[in-house]
Amino acid sequence: MNYRHSFHAGNSADVVKHSLLIALVRALQLKESALTLIDTHAGCGLYDLQGEEAGRTGEAAQGVLRAFADPSPLLIDYRAAVEAVNSGAEPYLYPGSPRILAQLLRPQDSLILNEKHPEDAHTLRVAMRGTPAAVHERDAYEFWLAMLPPRTPRGVVVVDPPYEQTDERTRITATLAAAHRKWAHGVTVIWYPLKDRAAHQRWKEQLRRLGIPKLLWVEHWLYDSDQPGIYNGAGLFIINPPYAFTQTLPPLLQSLRTALAPEGHKGEIAADWLSG
């Protein structure tokens, strides 16, 4: 499926992804040592929720706007990250992962971004002005491996492709296997859309066979059962999540589910270890 960021900015998948990404980085920053944050599919960095592409789908109404209307204190960090690029009570701009990661940087941390599409890479450079981020324009999977291991002892790789290519999952699986051989203790976050449960289960089995000891999955299914041709949510694979993150995950997931549940559907949001 084609999942271009600009059409889906601020939807429920973004709320879950960015809430968890903030919590993950915060947990890693409990230690003083430097972090290198790497985003392989950085996109444009900043999105206009009132623009033509996001306006065409209107998905922000079921995502970021619900998160802003929900009083849960567990979503304060997420709301603050969105508020940082807006003025006024209701957000009209949405920060992509690069802008959110830039907000989280400490003086000792670094941020390295990559976006292959030339027009999006140009937009990304404009969006990241005033931040210390480095921006590359390379094949995402070649870039992923080339950045490992990072110069700092610890780091996070965020892999967030649009799934435009039919072999996207195959390339992720192969690159993850090679990346784990180069950087076995590194933290990696892989985002994916959910549509067909049977096909997704086959991919999970392929990843399980890689034998990575600490591979956590988090999935937010919007609807109770598959509906042909309809996007049904999104998930994250997280390799080597820190203990402090996994301990805070259950109440955060419950808050996200409460804020984002579609009317008339129970759906589910769950997390478990894929292996190990």
Q: What is the pLDDT of residue 268?
A: 86
Q: What is the pLDDT of residue 74?
A: 97
% of the chain beyond a pLDDT of 90 = 79
What string of DSSP letters covers 30-68?
Answer: TS-S-EEEEESS-TTSEEETTSHHHHHH-GGGGTHHHHH
Q: How would you classify residue 88: left for phi > 0, otherwise alpha for psi between -120 and 50, otherwise beta?
A: left
pLDDT at 195 over 90: no
- Decide which of 118 and 225 is more confident: 118
**Mean pLDDT for the chain?**
92
Q: How sure is the predictor about 55, in pLDDT bands with cuts at 50, 70 and 90? A: low
Task: Specify the residue for token string 């230690």.
Answer: 31
The tens digit of pLDDT for each residue in 76-107 reads 999 999 999 999 778 999 999 999 999 999 99
CATH number at residue 181: 3.40.50.150
Q: What is the pLDDT of residue 4?
A: 59
| C-alpha–C-alpha distance, residues 13 and 218, integer Å | 11
Mean pLDDT value across residues 257-267: 76
Q: Is 224 a catalytic residue?
A: no
Highest mean pLDDT among 50-64, 183-197, 218-232: 183-197
Q: What is the pLDDT of residue 229?
A: 65
Tokens (6 digits) for 31: 């230690």
Q: What is the pLDDT of residue 2?
A: 46
| H helical segments located in the chain | 5-8, 12-28, 52-57, 64-69, 76-83, 97-104, 118-127, 140-146, 168-182, 197-208, 243-260
The CA-to-CA distance between both ends of the chain, in Å, stands at 30
Cis peptide before 149 (omega within 30 of 0): yes
Closest CA relative to residue 25, chosen from 85, 102, 133, 94: 102
Tokens (6 digits) for 13: 């998948």
Which of these is catalytic: 120, 139, 160, 226? 160
The whole domain housing 19 covers: 5-275
Q: What is the pLDDT of residue 1?
A: 46
State the total domains in the chain.
1
The tens digit of pLDDT for each residue in 28-51 reads 999 999 999 999 999 999 999 988
Q: What is the pLDDT of residue 265?
A: 61
The tens digit of pLDDT for each residue in 111-165 reads 999 999 999 999 999 999 999 999 999 999 999 999 999 999 999 999 999 998 9
Tokens (6 digits) for 231: 């996007």
